Structure 1
Amino acid sequence: MSTVRHLNVFGDEVGAISPAVGIAQFLVWLQGKRGRSGRITSPQTVRAYTSALPTAFAGIGVLDELDDTVGRERVRLNVRTAWAGGAPSTFNARRAAVASALAYFEDQGWIDDADAVLTGLDREPQPKPDGLRVRPREQIDALIGDRRHRLEDRTLWAMLYATAARAEEVLQLDIADLDRPNRRARVIRKGGKADELMYDIRTARLLGQLLAGRRSGPVFLSVRVVRDGTVDTRDIDPATGRRRMGYRTVERRLDAASGGWDPHDLRHSRLTHAGEDGATEADLMLLSGHEDRRTLQRYLHPTKDGAHRRLDDIDARRGAFTPSADDLADRIDRAAQRQARTQLPADTRPLPDVAVYDQLLTRSRDSGHTDPGRGQEQGPVS
């Protein structure tokens, strides 16, 4: 691969580049980089790299140190210490950020071998998504409706499930991004695509309670108050000084409240449940933001409960048979015939047996009652 030389806007000479300067130039380049889709790197990705890289290169004086054993081992130790104890997906994402920066450093001629820095620090195996990530609807509803949890958390969980969005996308929402009358939210998807999230009535009600009189700032806030200028003002609520909620906070609180769920489980569950309820592939792609049908397929794992519910619906429809017009005409004819037999004129009705009638007449006279056959008053018999 040919070396791509970029203008060193910081004026440092090659071979004496500090990690801070190298990372800063890399982030400028990353911010304008276009991926295979043709879109520039999303702000969420740039923000994640900005957070991870200083941790990975802590203790490195100049980038030349990455060409010797001590410097390389220092970076590996930093990465292991910071992220090896977390989820495999988190570790792999942070490792990928470091690898991307190292490749850029090599392209600039600042280090000799980017791959050698992370030798022995392999990606951690990630379990393939399976049906276990699809949480039962009843459990999700119970979690969101449990008032023992903070309103902020319940609203976030409701929105994550309703929109099937990634947690990073929802956490970047500002109040100005919400179209509350139409239950939509403007967002930048992974990959930099502008899109709209669609949420349900339950989420809209919770948002109304959560936002109350707030008109600006992030939708979801942490409890931390920052007033020392160390956080971008766009990530701070101007009224309270509370900063935007972070992913790790979401991950920790959901895990504690649910007994082991991950924020991505809500996205996975929503797409599976919507598919079980009859949403089309196009519906699911609009909901999730996927552009590749193959990517969407890994979320569609029909569950036993969902299959059972659909089969019950099919059985119920089959049991509620709707007769044809010919069948109904035949039924109407038979009903008319029955009515004709029971509604004959009085003079055409068959007379009762004579012996039975005489017995009834004798009893009626003895008791002083009317003639049962005539229905008229009879005087006492002398």
Structure 2
Amino acid sequence: MKAARNAVTVRAAVDGFLASVDRRHKPATRRSYGRTLEHVASQLGTDRRLRKVTGEEIAEVLRALCVGTAPSTWNQRRAAISSFLAWCARNGYPAPVLPAGAGRQPERREETPIVSRPAIERLLTHGVIPLREKTLWRMLYETTARATEVLALNIEDLELDARRARVPAADGGIEHIYWATGTAQLLPGLIRGRTRGPVFLSERRPGLARRPPSADICPHTGRARLGYDRARVLLDRYTRTEATPGWDLRQLRHSAAAHLAEANVNPQAIMAKGRWRNPRAVMRYVRPRVADLDAVTRRLDMAPRPRA
């Protein structure tokens, strides 16, 4: 048994790990792990014995893969590699260890720019926007859901009459995202003629060399699920001007939260709507008005009222 484990190849180890990444992980996480580890395996040599691979070699591949990227991208790809190496160690494979110089990089949290409600409405009602993009962007705004969650939706997850869809929860359960009239009017046209498979599809069928998993293929059209990078590029293209940069997908979610806060919606309700776990993610949008503070102060007034 030990001899067999010492003889395992990089290819076999990566395949074993990816097969173990089950439904507890979000689809976007599974795809991210797969892309990173497939690249690492190809650079190391898929037929090499894993025991002959050093941690420094893996670190060099990681550095080359992350040239010019943000610290968050480094950390995400490093996390995929670390998870793989930890899985190898738990299963008795001769796993190398990443050197200290390949540790996590500090991330600087930048505030997501808020887009005004009129600007979002102008975009969503513009006549030249294709139905797919119009539906995706409106759903992101009305649900305040994460873009990865919305792009991972299948038609089977939709509950059109209830104006909601099922999404995986962090604890492995099921949560719901809710949309409003605009999305409800657009969705039937987007999925017309389809009863299963991804809600949002790419423009064309994938080639054999880059064929995604069957779960990401529409059984009716053969087209693949729309990816995050493509969706990001399209939003940037339609919103960029000579004077201003294009929007990011996250801005629709965060702008919706800010608009709810401006409408004096309870912060707990905003947290529930966007399914935020950390109150700080919502409180940055809450700006109490002077009138609100005055009303709260009066509730604490215990002094006797003057007699008439």
TM-score (norm 2): 0.79
Q: Match for 1:204 among 184, 188, 200? A: 184
Corresponding residue number in structure 1 for 2:302: none
Work out the CA distance in 1 between the residues paired with 2:147 and 2:219: 23
Q: CA deviation at 1:124?
A: 4.2
2:224 matched to 1:240? Answer: no
Work out the CA distance in 1 between the residues paired with 2:282 and 2:159: 28
Structure number with the bigger relative contact order (C-alpha 8 A, sep ≥ 6) is 2
Corresponding residue number in structure 1 for 2:102: 121
User: 1:105-146, CA deviations, whole angstroms, 9 ceiling, x for partnerless residues?
Assistant: 234443464232xx433444433142x522222222222222
2:42 matched to 1:58? Answer: yes
Whether the aligned pair in 1 keeps the contact of 2:6 and 2:51 (CA below 8 Å) is: yes
Work out the CA distance in 1 between the residues paired with 2:11 and 2:233: 30
Q: CA deviation at 1:87?
A: 4.4
Letter in 2 for 1:192: G
Whether the aligned pair in 2 keeps the contact of 1:66 and 1:111 (CA below 8 Å) is: no
User: 1:69-123, CA deviations, whole angstroms, 9 ceiling, x for partnerless residues?
Assistant: xxx33x334333434434443332122111211222234443464232xx43344
Work out the CA distance in 1 between the residues paired with 2:141 and 2:189: 18
Corresponding residue number in structure 1 for 2:303: none
Aligned length: 285
Letter in 2 for 1:18: T
TM-score (norm 1): 0.65
Work out the CA distance in 2 between the residues paired with 1:22 and 1:172: 27
Could you tell me which runs of 5 or more consecutive residues in structure 1 were left unpaired when the two chains were aligned.
Answer: 1-7, 33-39, 315-382
Query: Whose radius of gyration is greater, 1 or 2?
Result: 1
Q: CA deviation at 1:173?
A: 0.9
Whether the aligned pair in 1 keeps the contact of 2:271 and 2:282 (CA below 8 Å) is: no
Pick closer, same or farther for the CA change 1:147–1:62 going to 2, 3 Å: farther
Q: Match for 1:141 among 117, 121, 127? A: 121
User: 1:21-43, CA deviations, whole angstroms, 9 ceiling, x for partnerless residues?
Assistant: 212332344428xxxxxxx4344
Whether the aligned pair in 2 keeps the contact of 1:105 and 1:114 (CA below 8 Å) is: no
Q: Please show how residues 21-60 of structure 1 align to structure 2 within 5 Å.
A: 21-31=12-22, 40-60=24-44
Q: CA deviation at 1:183?
A: 0.8
Q: Please show how residues 82-231 of structure 1 align to structure 2 within 5 Å.
A: 82-111=65-94, 113-116=96-99, 119-130=100-111, 132-190=112-170, 192-226=172-206, 228=208, 230-231=211-212
Work out the CA distance in 2 between the residues paired with 1:235 and 1:277: 38
Whether the aligned pair in 2 keeps the contact of 1:49 and 1:97 (CA below 8 Å) is: yes
Letter in 2 for 1:173: L
2:242 matched to 1:261? Answer: no
Q: CA deviation at 1:185?
A: 0.8
